[in-house]
Structure 1
Amino acid sequence: MLTIYKHRNGGGVMQTNKIETGVWINVVAPDQKERAELMAQTGAPEDFLLYGLDPDEGARFEYDDDTDSSLIIYDMPVPQRTERSNGYETIPLAVIVTKKCIITIHTEDIPLMQYFAEGKVPSFDPRNAYHSAFQFLYQVSVSYLTYLRDINKARVQIENKLQRTLRNDELYGLMGIQRSLVYFMMSLRTNRIVLDNLGRGNVLHLNEEELDYLDDITIENQQATEMAQISNSIIRETADTYSSVINNNMNGVMKFLTSYSIILTIPTLVFSFYGMNVELPFAGTHWSWVITIGISVIIALVLGIQFWRNKFF
């Protein structure tokens, strides 16, 4: 699906049906016919269009001398809902800048693109292609910080629940958060490489304002990276702590059960002795069964007191 936007007087963009110079084309899962139309009317290389549709494509920057076109693939976070937990993953966002227009390509509808389409970024002007491309990258970098704050809030809630009771649902929640942080850290690392390549040598002949904007994106990316690393460290320490708590609880339960098993074994031993067909003390008396129970209780009490002193239970 192709959606075309052009600059609107007063700020923002408005939708149009014509591909002309200075427009922004938002492309979602295009078919072969739409790709052919893009190639014919914008001059975008076919490889660039296909790279943007590959869900496994890593973040990178590429420049095509023949068509004077640039490709920026930048990993962006998106929510991921599962049966066990709510987490996040990252998908590639392809931004293609040609001599005629700017193109964004992705395989699914992204709310961030709607943010630009609705004019919520008044300074967004697709006629200034590279500045617009950097605005996309900036908002993606900021979205990492937003999602990381949500992740931290979810982590605190799960930790509070785990302090009251250890349940599998909370542990699955921690696992989902940790998986999200791994995705974030890997993507932020590759995004940083893309930003460094864009600024190194100024291959795109960016002006001073665009270079400053690129520095701002790099700063946001670095903040998100540090925040993700801190959150991941806290998650690891939390998981290790609760793993130790679970092991300690299990050891306590096993110690308790073992101690009581030993104590309950005493009456069985005493009754077994008096059940033998041999001469034993008090076996011939009328109160032998009471004496047997008394011996069992005394020995069990002695063992119980000894276990209690050694804090076995």
Structure 2
Amino acid sequence: MITRQEINGKAPLNYNWFDVTELDDNDVSQLKRLFRFTPEIIGYVSDKQERPRYDYDSHTQSELVVYDVPLWPNTDTAHFTTRPIIFLLQGTTIFTFHTNETAYVFEQFKHDSIKDIKSTTEFIMTFLLHAAKYFNQALDKLNNERNQLDKNLNNTIINKDLRKLAQIEKSLVYLASSIKTNLMMLESLRHTPLTSQITKEAQEKLDDILIETEQSSRMAQISNEVTEKISTTSNNILNNNLNDIMKFLTGWSLLLTIPTIITGFYGMNVKLPLESTPLAWITITLLTTFFMLGLYIYLKHNDFL
């Protein structure tokens, strides 16, 4: 769906903004007919897996900016993922392309104070600065969840908590990768036509975005390292507990083997010692107890029990 956006109840004075949500065949036809979009541009803006980058088409005088934003976990995906938002700039007209999943960024952006934006470049920088904060929010949420899991794992390690920890690790991989590619794209903007005639306000916003993204990148790296160490430590403790259980069960299996062997001998239909003794049962029981006690002392001394 193609919508011409208004800011604070009126269209921007110096530029036009068209927002495209869930691009479909009907939208493609309109973009080709009304705005002369080429098949190459259509291929770019319709790619939901496009990586963050900047591209300039000298033939159509179009500038493409792709920026990733985080998607919160839902019923289908238990961890954070990311999706691109695409900006296409043609002269004084700017197009934004996104899905319903990333619509939350636009909804909150429209409620912010953006009435003083005077150019398309400043619009893009303002939007990117607005979108950058969501990575910090996602990382804060993951850190809080990890800290709570860490407390639980200090008491009792259960599979449910380990699965949650694994989801946090997956989330950090997605977020860290997108933040890194976003940062590479933002750094490359300094040497592109988009910023060749950038205003002072837009330049300040670009500097703020770079600082914000660099902080997010370091935060994601630190969070990932901490989470990996907690996961490794928890797995080591879990494996050690399993080894202790297996040692304990093995030790008692050996102890219970002794009466099994002795009673097995005396269950055979052959002549055996003590067979005719009146106190044979007591003697055999005492003998079995003696061997079991000796083995128990040996296993205990060697930390098998």
TM value normalised by structure 2: 0.90
| Per-residue deviation, residues 10-66 of structure 1 (Å, max 9, x unmatched) | xxx3377xx996232221013333234345545655533431221111111012223
Gaps of 5+ in 2: none
- Tell me the equivalent position of 1:128: 119
Q: Which is further off, 24-33 or 243-252?
A: 24-33
Q: Does 1:72 align with 2:65?
A: yes
1:169–1:14 distance in 2 versus 1, CA, 3 Å: farther
Contact 1:259/1:307 (CA < 8 Å) preserved in 2? Answer: yes
1:136-285 map, 5 Å: 136-200=127-191, 204-205=195-196, 206-276=198-268, 277-280=270-273, 282-285=274-277
**Aligned partner of residue 4 in structure 2, secondary structure:** strand
Please give the secondary structure, in 2, of the residue aligned with 1:261: helix
SS in 1 for 2:195: coil
The gaps in structure 1 that reach 5 residues or longer are 8-12
Q: Give the letter aligned to residue 177 of structure 1.
A: I
- For residues 170 and 253 of structure 1, what CA distance do their matches in structure 2 show? 21
SS in 2 for 1:87: coil
> Could you tell me how far apart the structure 2 residues matched to 1:155 and 1:106 are?
31
Corresponding residue for residue 105 of structure 2: 112
**C-alpha deviations, 1:135-156, integer Å up to 9, x for none?**
1211221110110000111112
User: What secondary structure is seen at the aligned counterpart in 2 of 1:80?
Assistant: coil
The code of the aligned residue for 2:96 comes to T
Give the CA RMSD over aligned residues: 2.3
8 A Cα contact 1:53 1:106, kept in partner: no
Match of 2:22 among 20, 29, 33: 29
AA aligned opposite 2:206? L
1:124 and 1:290, CA in 2 relative to 1: closer, same or farther beyond 3 A? farther
Q: What SS is found at the alignment partner of 1:54?
A: coil
Q: 3-state SS of the aligned residue for 1:311? A: coil
Shift of 1:283: 2.7
Amino acid at match of 1:89: T
Does the CA-based 8 Å contact 1:267-1:296 persist in structure 2?
Answer: yes
Paired residues of 1:3 and 1:15 also in contact (CA < 8 A): no
Q: Distance in 1 between matches of 2:54 and 2:183?
A: 11
User: What aligned pairs does 1:10-25 form with structure 2 within 5 A after superposition?
Assistant: 13-14=8-9, 22-25=15-18
* Structure-2 residue corresponding to 1:10: none
Distance 1:21 1:49 in 2: 25
After TM superposition, give the deviation of residue 81 of structure 1 in Å: 1.9
Structure 2 SS opposite 1:90: strand
Asked if the contact 2:55/2:63 (under 8 Å) is kept, the reply is yes
The 3-state SS of whatever aligns with 2:6 is strand
Percent sequence identity over aligned pairs: 29
Letter in 2 for 1:5: Q
Q: Indicate the SS of the match to 2:80.
A: strand
Name the CA distance, whole Å, in 2 between partners of 1:143 and 1:74.
Answer: 12
Query: How many Å separate the matches in 1 of 2:235 and 2:2?
Result: 50
1:304 to 284, 296, 299: 296
